[in-house]
Amino acid sequence: MFAMPREVPHLAIEDLFGPPVRTRASISPDGTRIAYLAPWRDRLNVWVESVDSEAEARCVTADGNRSVLTYHWTDDPRWLLYEQDGDGDENWHIHRVDLDDPDAEAVDLTPFPGARVISFEPLVTRPGKAILSLNRRKLTEFDLYELDIATGDLTMLAENPGRITGWLCTPSGDLYAQTLTADGDIELSRWDAGTGETHPVTTFDGADYPLGVQPYLCTPDGTGVWFGSNRDGDRTRPARLDLATGEETVVDSHPLFDLDTRSTVFPTLPSPLIRDRSTGELIGVRYLGERQVIHPLDPHFAAVLENLEKLSDGDLSAISSDASGQRWVVAFTHDRDPGVTYYYDHSTGESRPLFRPMPSLEPETLAPMTPVTITARDGLALPSYLTLPVAAEPAGLPLVLLVHGGPWSRDSWGYNPVVQLLANRGYALLQVNFRGSTGYGKAFLRAGIGELAGKMHEDLIDAVEWAVGEGYADRDRVAIFGGSYGGYAALVGVTFTPDVFAAAIDFCGPSNLVTFLRTVPEFVKPQLVNNWYLYAGNPDDTEQERQLRTRSPISRVDEIRTPLMVVQGGNDVRVVRAESDQVVEALRARGIEVEYLVKDDEGHGFVNPENNIDVYRAADRFLARHLGGRPDTR
């Protein structure tokens, strides 16, 4: 345990929201180099250094506009790939870097205006190749391509006839397609590229998979698919689907926890399926409850895992190994020591720390995050997390209810800069996994159907009552703060229950569910059937449109009397700027002050550090005015 200081230093917003010194390291397949992200011109770029020599690290990308967040080693030591969009528009392109030529510029391998790459994966079984889905032909349809990494050649493997929602290509080149039935179920079929005919393999209940079947990976031999299954049970566990027979076989399970599928929403988080770098075989599985549990499925990885878990009392997050499985680079999730990263050599037993991403943040100055369970008014148990200020009396504190996005996501244990900022300023933080959150079983997920601005919001109010009843929170000093769905929840809070909150911050949240659903990207709309249409309603149906309007904060905007701050990305394609504009305009028309921050070079969630610093400095001062915290006065 970390010792608690007598006095807590005032943490600088720049230290919390500025770029890390280093982050997201991984080792090359040949085990000779480590890549990581670090600042170049105040933007994260990819750097490469030697594992064994003291040679100076080299920056191999040069994006001065927007941070690089995702990169990929390839099996050829010459090439490294990275993904980048344009100012948050989510039109992801694949870029290639020549590691043998430091002066060569990166090459955009998918240089098609307005198009985006999804489901990109370098292939272990086909050296030099990668599979991707791309909408270059028609923006509403994603075709399947094979990319030759060295030449940049793109070969279309299958043209989408307009009804395919996902593709699978086996190592032998057999194709499988996912489609949605009229009832919203997900049908997997073998695809005949010559005729376009489909041959059904199996069907998944769409209501069990609001964001699609995840994870979903072809086995190396091409005869099956590993996927997250909750068929005939409440918990999601890894299963193998036989592509010839449609038979499912459970691979592993946990008696209490679901697979950790957070990477479905946050692709920078690790997959729940841990695979061998060389063969692609499944060697481990991640589950997530209050904390993470990893089940090794391979004797060698079991021995490696035993030693890796001794390096930190955090949860093992990103891991990578060389092709031999001997040299490893690993990072850890921790509430007070974020992203600490180590090198480990299994052949010698040697380990050494590589870096702490934020060395200016000392663990003893940060607040511990404690799992708690709150009982909703109808008896449903709500897994939650409570963070209290360090070295402060945990009684009668101003409280910030921090609501996660999605809503098909979840809060989890680990470092969160927003939590640490506000805890440092004297607030208690409460994060609630309300009904409809993922990761707590099928029944908990489905309990959110039809409950937007209903029981999903009541869960949040019940959590506030719990914090007040336990003595942690001052009932008169409670704020609600969230992004995306959490922003919607903040707006619901100040329109449906205006007496509960003393302040609210909405970050890119929908204010009108009808206009929100009508302005999402066209290619997304067919996939709304198992999430927004099921849980909230379809605006093309007259009665459901009426229900959507009654559940929309804009319908009760006249009820707002709570101080409100709104933050919006001007380039947001998920929740367009009009969703924030209409709330702000309605309030200003009534002469009500609302603080409004728009960043035109950001999308749905901010990346550039100067923008995040601006937002959280404003949020710091806003909450201090209305809740009585101790803001940064610089």
For residue range 335-346, what is the model confidence (pLDDT) as tens digits?
A: 999 999 999 999
Mean predicted lDDT score pLDDT of the chain: 96
- 8 A C-beta contact, residue 450 and residue 531: no
| Run of H or E residues at 544 | helix 542-550
Closest CA to 437 of 422, 447, 423: 447
Whether 417 has a pLDDT exceeding 80, the answer reads yes
- Gap between the Cα atoms of 429 and 467, Å rounded: 10
> What is the distance between the alpha carbons of residues 372 and 366, in angstroms, rounded to a whole number?
19
Q: Domain 363-512+552-627 is classified in which CATH homologous superfamily?
A: Alpha/Beta hydrolase fold, catalytic domain (3.40.50.1820)
143-184 pLDDT per residue, tens: 999 999 999 999 999 999 999 999 999 999 999 999 999 889
Cis-peptide, bond into residue 398, ω within 30° of zero: no
- Catalytic residue status for 604: yes
Omega of the bond leading into 407 within 30 degrees of 0 (cis): yes
Is residue 322 among the annotated active site residues? no
Q: Above 90 in pLDDT, residue 124?
A: no
pLDDT digits (tens, 9 = 90+) for 39-58: 999 999 999 999 998 889 99
Instruction: Pick the closest to residue 552 from 576, 579, 525, 572 (CA basis).
Output: 579
| pLDDT tier for residue 633 given thresholds of 50, 70 and 90 | low
Sheet containing 315-321: give its strands across: 315-321, 327-333, 341-345, 350-355
pTM of the model: 0.96
Reported confidence tier of residue 353, pLDDT bands at 50, 70, 90: very high
Residue 231 exposed, middle or buried by CB count within 10 Å (0-12, 13-18, 19+): middle
Strand duo 594-599 + 70-73: pairing: unpaired
- Provide the residue ranges of all domains of the chain, joining segments of one domain with +: 363-512+552-627
Q: What is the mean pLDDT of residues 308-328?
A: 97
For the residues of 567-607, what is the DSSP string, one character each? EEETT-SSS-HHHHHHHHHHHHHTT--EEEEEETT-BSB--
- For 490, the enclosing helix (H) or strand (E) is helix 485-496
Q: Give residue 319's identity as a one-letter amino acid code.
A: I
Model confidence at 6, pLDDT cuts 50, 70, 90, reads low
Largest CA distance in the chain: 73
10 a catalytic residue:
no
* Of residues 572, 552, 402, 550, the one with CA closest to residue 491: 552
Q: Could you tell me which residues come within 8 angstroms of residue 603 by beta carbon, excluding any fewer than 6 positions away?
A: 85, 87, 88, 89, 90, 569, 571, 572, 573, 574
Under 8 Å between Cβ of 509 and 579 = yes
CA distances from 115 to 136, 474, 514 (A): 5, 50, 26
Annotated catalytic residue: which of 322, 462, 572, 620?
Answer: 572
For the stretch 251-305, pLDDT in tens is 999 999 999 999 999 999 999 999 999 999 999 999 999 999 999 999 999 999 9
User: Average pLDDT, stretch 23-33?
Assistant: 97
Active-site annotation holder among 271, 604, 620, 626: 604
Q: What is the pLDDT of residues 533-567, one digit of tens each?
A: 999 999 999 999 999 999 999 999 999 999 999 99
* Residues 569, 605: Cα–Cα separation, whole Å: 7
Q: Which residue has 């999730």 as its token pair?
A: 333
Instruction: Report d(CA 558, CA 567) in Å as an integer.
Output: 20
Which pLDDT score, from 0 to 100, does residue 634 have? 57
Q: Evaluate whether 258 touches 208 at the Cβ level (below 8 Å).
A: no
Question: What token pair was written down for 620?
Answer: 């710091």
Per-residue pLDDT tens over the stretch 360-410: 999 999 999 999 999 999 999 999 999 999 989 999 999 999 999 999 999
Long-range residue pairs from 174-177, CB within 8 A, at least 24 positions apart, any chain: 174/222, 174/243, 175/144, 176/201, 176/243
Q: What are 488-533's pLDDT values in tens digits?
A: 999 999 999 999 999 999 999 999 999 999 999 999 999 999 999 9
Residue 126 reports pLDDT greater than 90 = no
Q: What's the rounded Cα separation, in Å, for the pair 286 and 509?
A: 31
Q: Where are the alpha helices (DSSP H) in 88-156?
A: none
- Catalytic-labelled residue, pool 189, 321, 484, 555: 484
- Alpha-carbon distance of 124 to 566, in angstroms, equals 45
**In the chain, pLDDT over 90 holds for what percent of residues?**
94
> What phi, psi does 43 have (nearest 5°)?
-125, 140
Phi and psi, residue 141, nearest 5°: -130, 130
pLDDT above 90 (res 623): yes
pLDDT of 307 > 50? The answer is: yes
Tell me the pLDDT band of 4, cut-offs 50, 70 and 90: very low
Question: Which of 60, 25, 68, 23 has its CA nearest to residue 43?
Answer: 68
The residue-averaged pLDDT of 104-133 equals 94
pLDDT classification of 195: cutoffs 50, 70, 90:
confident
